[in-house]
């Protein structure tokens, strides 16, 4: 037993600090390996034949000419799928390849593996397909009328006969946003020589991929191993399977590693997008400015297959009216099925669309009542202990809506425009606008989002911690998409175990259980929570075993004396512990949408300041002042980065970004015409945190990824309308909308 | 694919004469987009960037190989203004004015200026020597021009005494790195003659000659004349609706933009 | 065809099949995957390299036209052991998230600071207006480069 006068080293990089990312150096030097950088000896390249029609019957499909192309090794179609014919996040309704009918523009029909990418593309071009072109269903209201839908979701709460002193009605449309992560989809499948495959492909949730892949391949689960891999962003676009099954099939057929990499155009058709929406709202309030009743009808276009539409439409309905108290709520919502590009997960997940509607309604009501717009929101702010306006669920966790609004109101207002530098003016260096053409506007967005998975979903994250004298290893399958999960896991493990050396070991589906998706703002709480709890339990086990009262990198302590060294604790091996972490149970709601569907909520409040050139319809977003409900800040720099980045995606949605889909065909599947905000489009973003600990998760921290994307857009949308003094009913707000031309 | 990398114009013209179908490559910023997306598969490329004489600015002669990065510093005010809006800094470092002319996109940022200052496009071939065409003859349609298969665009030739009073502006939906939905250039001579040219509102760069005539009649325009000027420009353009903008917005914005530039010229 | 050019100070020879881009050749032929392929239209800056002294998008450079040229890629700027000041600043200020745009930002910003060691805020923004970042909202990138410009004063 050791009793030397050893002192405990202070641990750097714990909670509340902003330690450097472990992947920072490889990323700035270009050495970080993304899926698109992977290489295997003797690998083939694959390319995909996609439908040129939104809807068509395949009358002939002849792959023989492709196989005749020198260098082509395999050509696969739906006939080659050995197992279940389809896949899907929730229901396997999407065929691995279109067979019989194509249901959207760009649907995969066949894949070709060849010695190199050029040859694979030649192979694709050589496939003979004949189509009978059919009339596509592309209008969401026509689809609704025809009852072509995947889920109808109703909220019936309170008394519909109640009415308020004032009433406002509005109709709103939201265009289709794309996640547009910088890294395109890529993957590499390597056959294991024993009938199985190791897959390294972009994914926000390798276990979900795994559960979808192996039935289609008719293999035992452990024969397919999905590995986490470096990714250039995700934002929802990597939640669904894209190339995964195709790659595995090709690897098994050819017996060789097969790589696939979408180019930008293919990426735009190869992943799901945000649902475009049409929304009708009627809000009523009493003369004191209390919301009395909200009625809404929501249509979201889910495109050709279900993907996660049914969860998205539920979110749209549950959060259709924002973080405001109201006892009488009536919502009819539907996710329709069309021949448009499939829609699914994107940051904000259903809450983004409705936020444009409910915030515009709140402004109109406030104006009608002659109450300050922020004050009106303050009067109706939903908080902890209140019933959720839609489901009636009592909000047990923290929900500091009123505090956020007060904090936002206290933030200084940005100075008036005082520059003729074109980079400060709408139109930028295009020199369209003089300072005297500019009208300034200000707008608010206060919004709410559920955190983690809802509606009785068995949501969990598995973590295994291994502690040895070399340091701590945390095994997880959680996807690091750039958000900084890796740093948060390290910080939490350090904080508990007081050991600075922590490595996160990204683990495949055979090594560890699911961590759930890197989505729904859930990983900090779920895998962070799992890491924290696993570390606490492991620490306690060790303390119990040795009768200590503290653990550090030196060993086990009691009463300030080192009892045993870490090497002695580990006895030449490692101490391991694994847990499955779950959040409080959630439940499916009844036929009126009533019940307890959500484990936690977060709010965000934004104030946007914009300068508008009304005559040309040009907008410059000057500043966003933001306050976010974060529970507890674990890493200030990472939290700031999530909020700034999330907010800019909301700004992009409000003024720039739209996938232009004409009769099912995407007209702008490229970065020339799908416009992402540039450095000169980005406003200054001022961020404040409100810390009211959540009832579960690590140290009260809440997920923070989605809320800023939800609230930024409505704030900008409102500010533009404020500047021009006119209602606009559609986002993105384009120059032609502002000038009022068609 | 074969590539020829001439270091002199004579060599380039030889190569072009020998293989009139060969693709000309300058900065690559247009051609390579076509190549990358499989829309173009060149068999023979004549790369022009090693030809020093094309990269020179000499008095009223701007060599076709001059990059936008250099033109950002041009003494011609509107040329410098427009150069700053071409693509991104990276595009401006590679892309050339000759490439812009050759591509002949309706949205080509350099074209309204060339039309407004009444530059001529100089094209050269081995067999027929030098031809100079006014913009109205060189630009023949959407991405079409009068360059013969054996010719190379060698320069933009400016007239003597290009007015120093010139203004350019470009509307794009984004603050940087954006294709124009409408662009315009207005130049004003010392004697008050005004020329107005617009981009992205017709298949080729468009001179608003009726609007120009209106200002010729009213060199010190009243508010009423300016309003008429806006209406005239809007009436003269023939834009289309596409995924970047609408016919109606472009028509409206063309008038507004032209007026703003005219007012800037009048104020100087 | 064989194309000889200098990459990061070394004479290299590439076997170029046709009209492929410099980006393709760097990534697939020369084992330099640090330059990223994200749009192939010169609309994102992820593949930025220095070519004969100018920053260009390597996706729009025809590799066959690089004979005799000098190219500096992200692999030629700093190393794990000795980071370039721009690289260090980006890490220190949390300007790296997914990192896919980062090599392009490093190459472009390093060139900016070489020409002008203390650029103003608007100069930084305009010089980097051809580099798209989808993760950060540009805030941390701006803070890191402003701090670097301040240090240089």
CATH number, domain of B196, equals: 3.30.390.50
> How far is the alpha carbon of C36 from chain A, nearest alpha carbon, in Å?
8
Q: Which two tokens stand for residue B167?
A: 């203004």
The span from the CA of B195 to the CA of B214, in Å, is 11
The strand pairing partners of A427, in sequence order, are none
In this complex, do A30 and C73 lie within 8 Å of one another by their Cβ atoms?
yes
- What's the CATH architecture for A277-454+590-739? 2-Layer Sandwich (3.30)
* Cβ atoms of A488 and A518 closer than 8 Å: no
Rounded CA-CA distance B249/A66 in Å is: 47
Q: Do C96 and A31 touch (CB under 8 A)?
A: no
Cβ–Cβ under 8 Å, residues A353 and A321: no
Determine the Cα–Cα distance for residues A528 and A525; give it in Å rounded to an integer. 5
Contact call for B171 and A735, based on CB within 8 A: yes
Neighbours of B116 (CB within 10 A): 30
Task: Supply the mean pLDDT for chain A.
Answer: 97
When the pLDDT of each residue in chain B is averaged and rounded to a whole number, the result is 97
Render chain C in DSSP notation, one character per residue.
Answer: -EEEEEETTEEEEEE--SS-BHHHIIIIISS-TTS--S-SSSSS-TTEEEETTEEEEGGGSBGGGGTT-EEE-GGGS--SSS--HHHHHHHHTT--SS-SSHHHHHHHHHHHHHH-SS--HHHHHHHTTT---SSSTTHHHHHHHHHHHHHH-
Alpha helices in A629-734 (DSSP H): 636-655, 707-724
Name residues whose C-beta falls within 8 Å of residue A402's C-beta, 6 or more positions apart in sequence. Answer: A378, A381, A383
β-pair type (C2-7, C70-72): parallel
pLDDT at position A108 over 70: yes
Domain hosting B183: range is: 165-266
B152-178 burial: b if 16+ Cβ within 10 Å, else e: bbbbbbbeeebbebbbbbbbbbbbbbb
- Dihedral sign (CA A198, A199, A203, A208): negative
For chain C, which domains are there? 2-76 (3.10.20.30), 85-152 (1.10.150.120)
Q: How far apart are CA A274 and CA A177, in angstroms?
A: 5
Ordered by start, the domain boundaries in chain A are 24-32+460-582, 35-135+180-270, 277-454+590-739
The SS3 assignment for A336 reads strand
- At residue A401, the 3 state secondary structure works out as helix
> Which CA distances in Å does C121 have to A63, A424, C143?
56, 11, 9
H or E element that contains B235: helix B223-236
In the three-class reduction of DSSP (H, G, I as helix; E, B as strand; rest coil), residue A529 is classed as helix
Chains that touch C (3 or more CB pairs under 8 A): A, B
* Cα torsion angle, B138, B140, B144, B147, sign: negative
Please tell me which chains touch A, using 3 or more CB pairs under 8 Å as the contact test: B, C
- C57 CA to chain B: closest CA distance, Å? 6
Structure tokens at A314: 């539920």
pLDDT at position B192, please? Answer: 93
Beta carbon pairs, A and C, within 8 Å: 182
- Alpha carbons A282 and A321: distance in angstroms, whole number: 10
Is residue B231 situated within a structural domain? yes
**Which residues on C lie below 8 Å from A25 (Cβ)?**
80, 83, 87, 91
Q: In this complex, do B176 and A679 lie within 8 Å of one another by their Cβ atoms?
A: yes
Distance of alpha carbon A124 from alpha carbon A392, whole angstroms: 54
Rg (CA), chain C: 15
Q: B15: which residues sit within 8 A by CB, 6+ positions away?
A: B4, B6, B22, B46
Token code pair at residue C69: 């040229």
- Per-residue pLDDT averaged across B161-182, rounded? 96
Please indicate, yes or no, if residue B225 is contained in any of the structural domains: yes
What digits encode the pLDDT tens for the residues B71-118?
999 999 999 999 999 999 999 999 999 999 999 999 999 999 999 999
- Candidates C17, C42, C127; nearest CB to B29: C42
Q: Using CA atoms, how far apart are residues A37 and A35, in angstroms rounded to an integer?
A: 5
Q: Give me A56's structure tokens.
A: 């068509």
Contacts of C77 in chain A (CB under 8 A): 29
Task: State whether residue A660 sits within 8 Å of chain B by CB.
Answer: yes
Mean of the pLDDT values across residues A71-93? 97
Separation between Cα atoms, residue B114 and residue B124, nearest integer Å = 18
Q: To the nearest 5 percent, what fractions of chain A are helix, strand and coil?
A: 30, 25, 45
Residues B22-45, mean pLDDT to the nearest whole number: 96
Distance from CA of B17 to the nearest CA of A (A): 31
Q: Does residue B178 belong to the interface with chain C, where contact is any CB pair within 8 Å?
A: no
SS3 assignment, position A351: helix
- CB-based contact B249 A678, cutoff 8 Å: no
Q: Which phi and psi angles does A53 have, rounded to 5°?
A: -125, 145
Is residue A272 over pLDDT 50?
yes
Task: Indicate if the pLDDT at residue A154 is higher than 50.
Answer: yes
Quick count: other Cβ atoms within 10 Å of Cβ A375?
14
Q: At A4, is the pLDDT very low, low, confident or very high (cuts 50, 70, 90)?
A: low
Q: Which fold has domain A35-135+180-270?
A: Aldehyde Oxidoreductase; domain 3 (3.90.1170)
Question: Strand, helix or coil at B58?
Answer: strand
Q: Measured on CA atoms in the order A121, A126, A129, A134, is the torsion positive or negative? A: positive
What's residue A727's pLDDT?
97
pLDDT tens digit sequence for A162-213 = 999 999 999 999 999 999 999 999 999 999 999 999 999 999 999 999 999 9
Q: How many folded domains does chain B comprise?
A: 1
How many Å apart are CA A402 and CA A394, to the nearest integer?
Answer: 17
Nearest-CA neighbor of C44 among C86, C101, C92?
A: C101
**What stretch of H or E contains A732?**
none
- B21 pLDDT exceeds 90? no
pLDDT bucket at A1, cuts 50 / 70 / 90: very low
Cβ–Cβ under 8 Å, residues C138 and B96: no
Helix (H, G, I), strand (E, B) or coil at B163: coil
pLDDT by 10-residue block (mean), chain C, 153 residues? 97 95 97 97 98 98 98 96 97 98 98 96 98 98 98 83
Count, residues in chain B: 268
The pLDDT tens digits of the residues spanning A705-720 come to: 999 999 999 999 999 9
Helix, strand, coil proportions of chain B in percent (round to 5)?
35, 25, 40
Confidence at residue A6, expressed as pLDDT on a 0 to 100 scale: 75
Residue A5 pLDDT grade (very low, low, confident, very high; cuts 50, 70, 90): low
**CB atoms closer than 10 angstroms to residue A194:** 7
Q: Is B36 on the interface with A (CB under 8 A)?
A: yes
pLDDT given at position A651: 98
Burial class (CB in 10 A: 0-12, 13-18, 19+), A134: middle
Beta bridge partner(s), residue A555: A565
Reported as a single tens digit per residue, the pLDDT across B219-268 is: 999 999 999 999 999 999 999 999 999 999 999 999 999 999 999 999 98
Q: What is the percentage of chain A residues whose pLDDT exceeds 70?
A: 99
Q: How many CA atoms lie within 13 A of B124 on its CB side?
A: 20
Read off the pLDDT of each residue in A254-258 and give the average, rounded to a whole number: 98
- A436 close contact with B: CB closer than 8 A: no
Residue B44 covered by a domain:
no
Q: A671 vs C101: CB contact, 8 Å cut-off?
A: no
Is residue B218 one of the residues assigned to a domain? yes
d(C-alpha A674, C-alpha A509), whole Å? 35
Q: Which CATH architecture has domain A24-32+460-582?
A: 2-Layer Sandwich (3.30)
CATH topology agreement for domains A24-32+460-582 and A35-135+180-270: no
C131 burial (CB, 10 Å; 0-12 / 13-18 / 19+) is buried
State whether residue A558 is helix, strand or coil: strand
Give the C-alpha separation, B201 to B179, whole Å: 13
């Amino acid at each position: 037993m050791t009793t030397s006068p050893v002192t405990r080293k202070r641990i750097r990089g714990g909670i509340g600090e902003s330690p450097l990312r472990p992947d920072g150096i490889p990323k700035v030097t270009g050495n970080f390996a993304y899926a698109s950088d992977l290489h295997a000896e003797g690998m083939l390249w694959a390319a995909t034949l996609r439908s040129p029609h939104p809807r068509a019957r395949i009358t002939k499909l002849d792959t023989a000419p492709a196989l005749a192309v020198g260098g082509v090794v395999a050509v696969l179609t739906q006939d080659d799928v050995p197992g279940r014919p389809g896949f899907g996040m929730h229901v396997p309704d999407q065929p691995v390849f279109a067979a019989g009918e194509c249901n959207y523009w760009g649907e995969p029909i066949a894949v070709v593996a060849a010695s190199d990418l050029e040859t694979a593309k030649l192979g694709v071009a050589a496939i003979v397909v004949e189509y009978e072109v059919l009339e596509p269903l592309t209008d969401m209201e026509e689809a609704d009328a025809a009852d072509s839908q995947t889920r109808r979701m109703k909220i019936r709460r309170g008394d519909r006969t109640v009415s308020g002193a004032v009433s406002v009605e509005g109709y709103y449309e939201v265009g289709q946003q794309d996640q547009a992560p910088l890294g395109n989809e890529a993957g590499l499948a390597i056959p294991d020589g024993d009938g199985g495959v190791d897959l390294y492909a972009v994914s926000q949730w390798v276990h979900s991929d795994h559960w979808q892949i192996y039935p289609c391949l008719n293999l035992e689960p452990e024969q397919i191993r999905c590995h986490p891999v470096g990714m250039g962003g995700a934002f929802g676009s990597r939640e669904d399977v894209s190339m995964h099954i195709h790659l595995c099939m090709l690897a098994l057929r050819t017996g060789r590693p097969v790589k696939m990499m979408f180019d930008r155009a293919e990426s735009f058709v190869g992943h799901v997008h945000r649902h475009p929406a049409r929304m009708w709202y009627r809000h009523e309030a009493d003369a004191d400015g209390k919301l009395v009743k909200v009625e809404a009808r929501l249509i979201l276009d889910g495109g050709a297959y279900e993907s996660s539409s049914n969860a998205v439409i539920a979110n749209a309905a549950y959060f259709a009216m924002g973080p405001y108290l109201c006892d009488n709520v009536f919502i009819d919502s539907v996710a329709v099925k069309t021949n448009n590009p499939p829609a699914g997960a994107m940051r904000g997940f259903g809450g983004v669309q409705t936020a444009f509607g409910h915030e515009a309604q709140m402004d109109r009501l406030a104006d009608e009542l002659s109450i300050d717009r922020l004050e009106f929101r303050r009067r109706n702010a939903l908080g902890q202990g209140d019933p959720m306006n839609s489901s009636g669920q009592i909000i047990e966790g923290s929900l500091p809506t009123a505090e956020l609004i007060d904090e936002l109101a206290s933030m200084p207002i940005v100075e008036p425009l005082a520059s003729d530098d074109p980079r400060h003016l709408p139109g930028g260096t295009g020199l369209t606008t003089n300072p005297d053409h500019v009208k300034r506007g200000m707008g608010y967005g206060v919004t709410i989002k559920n955190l983690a998975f809802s509606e009785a979903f068995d949501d969990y994250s598995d973590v295994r911690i291994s502690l040895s004298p070399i340091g701590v290893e945390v095994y997880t399958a959680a996807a690091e998409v750039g958000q900084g999960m890796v740093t948060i896991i390290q910080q939490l493990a350090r904080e508990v175990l007081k050991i600075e050396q922590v490595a996160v070991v990204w683990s495949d589906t055979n090594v560890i259980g699911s961590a759930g998706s890197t989505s729904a703002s859930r990983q900090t709480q779920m895998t962070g929570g799992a890491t924290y709890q696993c570390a606490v339990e492991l620490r306690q086990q060790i303390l119990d075993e040795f009768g200590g009262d503290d653990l550090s990198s030196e060993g086990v302590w009691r009463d300030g004396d080192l009892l045993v060294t870490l090497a002695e604790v580990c006895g030449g091996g490692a101490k391991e512990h694994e847990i499955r972490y779950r959040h409080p149970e959630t439940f499916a709601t009844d036929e009126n949408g009533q019940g307890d569907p959500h484990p936690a909520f977060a709010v965000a409040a934004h104030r946007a300041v914009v300068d508008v050139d009304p005559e040309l319809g040009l907008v410059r977003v000057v500043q966003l002042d933001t306050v976010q409900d974060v529970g507890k800040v674990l890493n200030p720099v990472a939290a700031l980065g999530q909020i700034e980045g999330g907010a800019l995606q909301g700004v992009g949605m409000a003024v720039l970004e739209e996938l232009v889909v004409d009769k099912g065909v995407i007209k702008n599947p490229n970065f020339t015409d799908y416009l992402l905000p540039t450095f000169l489009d980005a406003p200054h973003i001022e961020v404040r945190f409100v810390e009211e600990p959540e009832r579960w998760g690590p140290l009260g921290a809440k997920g923070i990824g989605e809320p800023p994307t939800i609230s930024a857009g409505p704030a900008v949308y409102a500010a533009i309308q404020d500047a021009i003094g006119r209602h606009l009913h559609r986002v993105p707000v384009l120059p032609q909308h502002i000038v009022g031309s068609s | 694919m074969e590539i020829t990398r001439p270091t002199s114009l004579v060599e380039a013209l030889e190569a072009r004469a020998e293989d009139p179908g060969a693709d000309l490559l300058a900065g690559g910023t247009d051609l390579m987009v076509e190549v990358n997306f499989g829309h173009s598969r060149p068999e023979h490329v004549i790369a022009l960037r090693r030809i020093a004489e094309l990269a020179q600015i000499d008095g009223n002669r701007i060599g076709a190989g001059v990059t936008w990065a250099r033109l950002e510093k041009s003494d011609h005010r509107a040329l410098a203004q427009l150069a700053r809006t071409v693509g991104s800094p990276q595009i401006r470092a590679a892309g050339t004015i000759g490439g812009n002319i050759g591509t002949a996109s309706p949205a080509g940022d350099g074209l309204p200026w060339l039309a407004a200052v009444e530059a001529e496009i100089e094209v050269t071939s081995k067999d027929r020597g030098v031809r100079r065409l006014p913009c109205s003859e060189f630009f023949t349609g959407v991405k079409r021009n009068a360059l013969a298969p054996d010719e190379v665009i060698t320069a933009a030739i400016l007239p003597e005494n290009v007015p120093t009073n010139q203004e350019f502006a470009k509307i794009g939906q984004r603050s940087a790195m954006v294709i124009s939905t409408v662009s315009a250039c207005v130049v004003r001579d010392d004697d008050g003659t005004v020329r107005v040219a617009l981009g992205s509102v017709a298949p080729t760069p468009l001179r608003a000659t009726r609007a120009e005539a209106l200002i010729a009649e009213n060199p010190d325009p009243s508010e009423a004349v300016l309003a008429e000027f806006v209406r005239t420009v809007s009436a003269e353009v023939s834009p289309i609706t596409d995924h970047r903008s609408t016919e109606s917005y472009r028509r409206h914005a063309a008038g507004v933009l032209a007026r703003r530039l005219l007012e800037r010229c009048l104020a100087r | 065809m064989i194309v000889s050019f200098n990459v990061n100070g070394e004479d290299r020879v590439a076997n170029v099949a046709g009209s492929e881009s410099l980006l393709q050749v760097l990534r697939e032929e020369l084992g330099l995957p640090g330059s990223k392929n994200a749009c192939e239209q010169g609309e994102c800056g992820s593949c930025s390299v220095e070519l004969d002294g100018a920053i260009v998008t390597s996706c729009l450079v025809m590799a066959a036209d690089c004979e005799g040229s000098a190219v500096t890629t992200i692999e030629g700027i700093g190393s794990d052991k000795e980071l370039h000041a721009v690289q260090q600043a980006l890490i220190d200020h949390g300007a790296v998230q997914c990192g896919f745009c980062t090599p392009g930002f490093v190459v472009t910003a390093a060139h900016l600071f070489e020409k002008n060691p203390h650029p103003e805020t608007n100069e930084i923004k305009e010089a980097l207006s051809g580099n798209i970042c989808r993760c950060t909202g540009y805030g941390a990138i701006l803070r890191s480069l402003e701090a670097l410009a301040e240090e240089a004063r």
